[in-house]
Structure formats: C-alpha cells, structure tokens
C-alpha cells in the first residue's frame, strides 16, 4: 500500500490564514459574551491560536474558551463510532448559556461532528452559534456550513485533508494525502 502526500500550506502560509479567520470572527462579534469552543483534538489548539490572533488585533476583546471531546473518525478517516460521541465538562452549561458560541474545528469533512456539537449546544439557549474551520472540504453529507473558513480545498472524494497542529504534530501545516490501493 502506497501513500502520496502533498504539503498544501506550511506554517508561514497559515499565519495570514489564521489572521484572516480572526478578522472574520471579529466581524460577527458584538457586545454579547462569547465563548470559543475547541473541538478536540486539533480544534482546541486552533481555538487557542485564533484567540491569540484576535487578541493581537483587538486586545480589549475578552473571549472565554472551552473544549469539547467529539469523536467519529480516526485521523485516517476510519469510522470509529457510527454515532458521533461528545463529551463535555460537567459545568459547561454555565459558561455557554445565553452566549455567542464559536465552534472551532480543523476540517469540515461531512458535517457530522459540527451537527452533533450544534445539537448539544442548543440546550443552552445560545444567542448565536457560528462554526469556524481551518479547512472546508466542501464534501458535506449534512447541510452544515462554516461561517468562518480559513481555506477551501476541493479534492477528490477519496483524498484526505490532514491538518497538522501542534502539540499533536511538530509542524503547523495542511497536507493532502491519497491513500494507495
């Protein structure tokens, strides 16, 4: 079995992407208290990067952070759970109720994870929920769209987008790989 792997964006190319995403976030904010929700694994450190970029542009903006564990696929997109699993801190509702929520994930693949997160968030009566992704593959199976998108990469259905995000990987990068037959 062979694999073809290509680097689409390295850390230097992603720096302006994160800055542009921060500007997109700032464009949707008002005075409503806002929570950045990172989807573990890679969405959490992306949320931290985005929060830092927002602070660099608008240091007066106070955004809180929360992480959710959401799992459906392995890193190679092998299906792990037929129903997307979500685990949240027991006291998460207190920090979410009546807030603007921006859910941050690495890749919008088919929409199942974001759908599960939005469904779970609805019980806390958020003022508004936005989705932010570093990469939108535009291969969704559900009618889920991201409001804030770093890059859009249209690839063949069998190709895989891999976001390399420290601390999980050494380099901050986006790769595409083609699993071989």
Cα gap 116→172, rounded to integer Å: 27
Mean pLDDT for the stretch of residues 123-142: 90
> 137 near 156, Cβ under 8 Å?
no
CATH code for residues 12-157: 3.40.50.2020
pLDDT per residue as tens digits for the range 78-114: 555 466 666 666 677 788 999 999 999 999 988 888 9
Which pLDDT score, from 0 to 100, does residue 104 have? 97
- pTM for the whole structure: 0.87
Domain boundaries of the chain, sorted by first residue: 12-157
pLDDT per residue as tens digits for the range 28-67: 999 999 999 999 889 999 999 999 999 999 999 999 999 9
Does residue 3 carry a pLDDT above 90?
A: no
Other Cβ atoms less than 10 A from the Cβ of 103: the count is: 27
Cα gap 66→63, rounded to integer Å: 10
């Amino acid at each position: 079995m062979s694999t073809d792997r290509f680097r689409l964006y390295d850390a230097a190319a992603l720096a302006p992407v994160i800055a542009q995403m921060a500007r997109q976030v700032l464009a949707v904010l008002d005075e409503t208290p806002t929570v950045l929700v990172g989807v573990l694994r890679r969405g959490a450190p992306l949320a931290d990067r985005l929060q830092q970029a927002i602070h660099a542009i608008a240091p007066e903006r106070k955004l809180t952070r929360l992480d959710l564990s959401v799992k459906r696929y392995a890193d190679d997109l092998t299906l792990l759970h037929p129903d997307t699993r979500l685990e949240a801190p027991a006291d998460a509702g207190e920090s979410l109720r009546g807030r603007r929520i921006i859910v941050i994930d690495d890749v919008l693949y088919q929409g199942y994870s974001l759908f599960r997160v939005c469904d779970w968030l609805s019980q806390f009566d958020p003022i508004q929920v936005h989705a932010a992704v570093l990469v939108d593959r535009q291969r969704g199976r559900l009618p889920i769209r991201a409001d804030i998108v770093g890059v859009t990469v249209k690839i063949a259905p069998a190709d895989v987008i891999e976001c390399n995000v420290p601390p999980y990987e050494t380099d901050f990068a986006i790769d595409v790989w083609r699993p071989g037959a």
